[in-house]
Structure 1
Amino acid sequence: MPNSLSVFTKQLAEISSQLERQAPLQALALIDEISNSTYQFTTPKQRIALLMHKAQAEMTLGQGHALVTTLNEALSLSQSAEFASERLQILNQLADQIYTMGDYRKSIQLWMNSIELGLELGDISSAILAFISIGGIFNAAEQHERAFKLHQQAFHYSRNLDNPHIYYTLRLYLAADYMWLHLPEDTLRVLDEADHVIKQHQFFEGQAESHLWRALALFQLGRFSEAITHLQQGLACAIQHHHYWGQIKCAYHLGLILTQQHRHAEAEQALLEALAIASDNEFMQLLRDCWLALSALYEAMGQAQQAYFALQSAHSFEHQLAKSAPILEIEPRILQRLAALETRFSLEISRQENRQLLEQQAQQIQKLNQLLTEVEQDALTKLANRRWLDTHLAPQIAKLHAEEQLSILLLDLDHFKQINDDFSHLAGDEVLRDLGQILQQACRDNDTPVRYGGEEFLLVLKGLNLFSAAKVAERIRSQVAEHEWPNSIQGRNITISIGVAQAQAGDNLISLIERADQALYRAKHLGRNRIEL
């Protein structure tokens, strides 16, 4: 099929656009069209991308079983090593969906697979998110102390991560832990920490859940009207952003509080709303909880038959949950595998911390070297400066052996003051920069050009005697005389005078430069634009 891949790419972009516009039905219609046309011509990577778009649409629509089927298909396509990153994303999403449907054993296994893959890929953030979610399963199993312990470990693992998603997610889970452990003040404290990140990054699902846990903490503190307000705000936020779990939990707890306040009609409305959403999305545990709450409500209302029907419905879902509920005491292999993963986590965290430390040290050394370079570099010409001479050339002269040769050129621009006076100091700076470039181009790898001060330059020539250095000086003098200077000096000719000196036994930096300076003075006195030894 000609141009099928380009057509598919355009179609995929259109699906993304529809999902951004909150149009999941239109997205699914186009996905179905693609499946009957260009799908057979696509690569596995493109098929995985299409399936992930389909999963996003099904999640928005609350199509739980269809979502699981789509994610399982994507998972089977992502088994090769080249799709490891995609597989990690799919594992986390699939585990989350299966958890909400009540299959806790399957979800914990998927999250453990996600942790292993995340550690293998060095993706600590994804591994930590999966680890946090496993803690949530312990809360669902009413093993709140164990959940809290896992979330504290996750907090330790993430201490050096700059990841706002992990930051707020972990604190929401800790808020739930504190709430279940009847520590409402601690719940409110960690929610205050989470809320500024949630607001800054517009994590709307997190905003709904923050309202939920804040409401439950306030309820424990006896602040009922505030609790109801936060549940209503969380419910509105969850509805607006299609956060079905948040809708159910907020409506469910709103129903419980209203039941206690004998506001039976309002409580029934809230609980039936939660029940409908839980049924549409096949959230098994939440369905059981809603039926139990309705049973208690109808009993309080004196409606025995409806209370009995609701209790039977709750028992039916309880029976289904028992097949996959997180009764982890009878699953020692799961706990053993989790313990092994905790060990791997610690090792991987230590490895990454060591790597970060080495990277920080390398950055510090690089910064130090940069600072040293800047200290020893002339800002205008980018050549070495006089500090470089004191630090590097002085020791070289002091250690110079008799058989070693080293010479210097001391250069001075002729009549440079007139350039500044006639054309401005900016024009003079351009001339100095150009001369710096001429000197750099004239140097060998082991030579060093230096801006000695003002319009004076010095060139260090290793391995050259006086006469060889004089040849280099003459070449540079000619290049300067023939150079095309900036337009800012309007065609003015520029020349230089050069003094040449060779290091001798007993020399130091001062004595060597003094001889070069004397030679330069003779060049100036004899008419400029010349070299002298």
Structure 2
Amino acid sequence: MAADDEAALPPGAPTTDLLSLHESIAGVLATQGDWRRAYHHLKSAFDLARAGSLRDTLTSSYNRRYLDQWLHGPAVDHRGPPGVAIALVDLDLFKDVNDTFGHLVGDRVLREVADLLQQGLPPEAFCARYGGEEFALVIPDVDAARAVRIADTARIRVARHPWRRIRPGLSVTISVGLAHESRMEPDLAAEPERQLRSADTLLYMAKRAGRNKVAYQDRESSRTIPHPMNTAESAGA
């Protein structure tokens, strides 16, 4: 077997194939007494396995485990002064999609929504599958106004996506609950669980307001309001 490190790895190979190849090469090198290179391949296999454990297998977005690690890790304590936004995103009436078009179409919808949510995110932000048809967007170092713009742009992008290309009659929208916390408030410590609960409450308010909306906290009036839908955008849904 070839053992010229990365030269033995086929470009574009799936992660599972790369993992197996690293392990196989490490075994060959170990039997030859080349412990340094065997260790290199075992470490590569470990890194691939760890990276894979943080990804959702269906959508390839990050998973709940990665989200939890980030929210409870040092990144939260070192966020920039503008603060961090957490948005919980839920596909509207997704059960109807599965019931009407089947679970294979439902799976494709989930994959495409994940791709659409990740488009246009700032480099430091990420999308994670929170569970079922629910996703989370984490946007660090952002003020509240920009966070609302990012979330609403994602909502419009999903509504305007040409879903009928998948199946005639298919349309998909999302509802979003957006919670923002600013580090500019000295008495406000990073409490990710509280912020998630707030985003979840706002998500349900967006649902009750008619779906296909972003709900967020209006700081000036201390009211929770739905971000209004642009009536022209539904033409592409």
For normalisation by structure 1, the TM-score amounts to 0.33
Over 3 Å counting, the alpha-carbon distance change for 1:401 and 1:487 in structure 2 is closer
Of the structure 1 ranges 478-487 and 432-441, higher mean CA displacement relative to structure 2 is found in 478-487
Mind listing any 5+ residue stretches in structure 2 that lack a counterpart? Answer: 1-29, 183-187, 217-237
Q: Percent same amino acid at aligned positions? A: 33
Residue in 1 that maps onto 2:134: 456
Equivalences for residues 95-174 of structure 1 within 5 A = none
Residue in 2 that maps onto 1:471: 149
Residue in 2 that maps onto 1:434: 112
The 3-state SS of whatever aligns with 1:450 is strand
The reply on whether 1:369 has 2:52 as its aligned counterpart is: no
Over 3 Å counting, the alpha-carbon distance change for 1:160 and 1:419 in structure 2 is closer
- Choose the corresponding residue for 1:532, options 193, 215, 225: 215
The 3-state SS of whatever aligns with 2:147 is helix
Distance 1:463 1:495 in 2: 27
Distance 1:497 1:506 in 2: 28
Distance 2:69 2:135 in 1: 17
Mind listing any 5+ residue stretches in structure 1 that lack a counterpart? Answer: 1-158, 162-352
The 3-state SS of whatever aligns with 1:489 is coil
Distance 2:153 2:76 in 1: 29
The 3-state SS of whatever aligns with 1:409 is strand
Does the CA contact (< 8 Å) of 2:98 and 2:106 recur in 1? yes
Does the CA contact (< 8 Å) of 2:87 and 2:177 recur in 1? yes
The reply on whether 1:520 has 2:203 as its aligned counterpart is: yes
Does the CA contact (< 8 Å) of 2:127 and 2:135 recur in 1? yes
Residue in 1 that maps onto 2:193: 510
Over 3 Å counting, the alpha-carbon distance change for 1:531 and 1:396 in structure 2 is farther
Distance 2:75 2:50 in 1: 21
How far the C-alpha of 1:489 sits from its partner, in A, is: 3.3
How far the C-alpha of 1:404 sits from its partner, in A, is: 5.0
User: C-alpha offsets along residues 245-271 of structure 1, whole Å, 9 cap, x if unaligned?
Assistant: xxxxxxxxxxxxxxxxxxxxxxxxxxx
Distance 1:513 1:379 in 2: 23
Does the CA contact (< 8 Å) of 1:477 and 1:530 recur in 2? yes
How far the C-alpha of 1:413 sits from its partner, in A, is: 0.6
Over 3 Å counting, the alpha-carbon distance change for 1:521 and 1:393 in structure 2 is same
Over 3 Å counting, the alpha-carbon distance change for 1:397 and 1:523 in structure 2 is farther
User: C-alpha offsets along residues 447-470 of structure 1, whole Å, 9 cap, x if unaligned?
Assistant: 111000111111111111222100
For the pair shown, the structure with the greater C-alpha radius of gyration is 1
Equivalences for residues 198-237 of structure 1 within 5 A = none
User: C-alpha offsets along residues 97-143 of structure 1, whole Å, 9 cap, x if unaligned?
Assistant: xxxxxxxxxxxxxxxxxxxxxxxxxxxxxxxxxxxxxxxxxxxxxxx
The 3-state SS of whatever aligns with 1:442 is coil
Residue in 2 that maps onto 1:410: 88
User: C-alpha offsets along residues 284-327 of structure 1, whole Å, 9 cap, x if unaligned?
Assistant: xxxxxxxxxxxxxxxxxxxxxxxxxxxxxxxxxxxxxxxxxxxx
How far the C-alpha of 1:402 sits from its partner, in A, is: 7.5
The residue type paired with residue 205 of structure 2 is: R
Could you say which structure has the higher strand fraction?
2
Over 3 Å counting, the alpha-carbon distance change for 1:449 and 1:401 in structure 2 is closer
How far the C-alpha of 1:515 sits from its partner, in A, is: 0.7
Equivalences for residues 70-85 of structure 1 within 5 A = none
Q: Relative contact order (C-alpha < 8 Å, sep 6+): which is higher?
A: 2
May I ask how many residue pairs the two structures share in their alignment?
182
How far the C-alpha of 1:486 sits from its partner, in A, is: 6.2
The 3-state SS of whatever aligns with 2:57 is coil
Over 3 Å counting, the alpha-carbon distance change for 1:460 and 1:394 in structure 2 is same
Distance 2:79 2:101 in 1: 47
Distance 2:70 2:47 in 1: 15
Does the CA contact (< 8 Å) of 1:466 and 1:500 recur in 2? no
For normalisation by structure 2, the TM-score amounts to 0.71
Residue in 2 that maps onto 1:43: none
Distance 1:502 1:526 in 2: 20
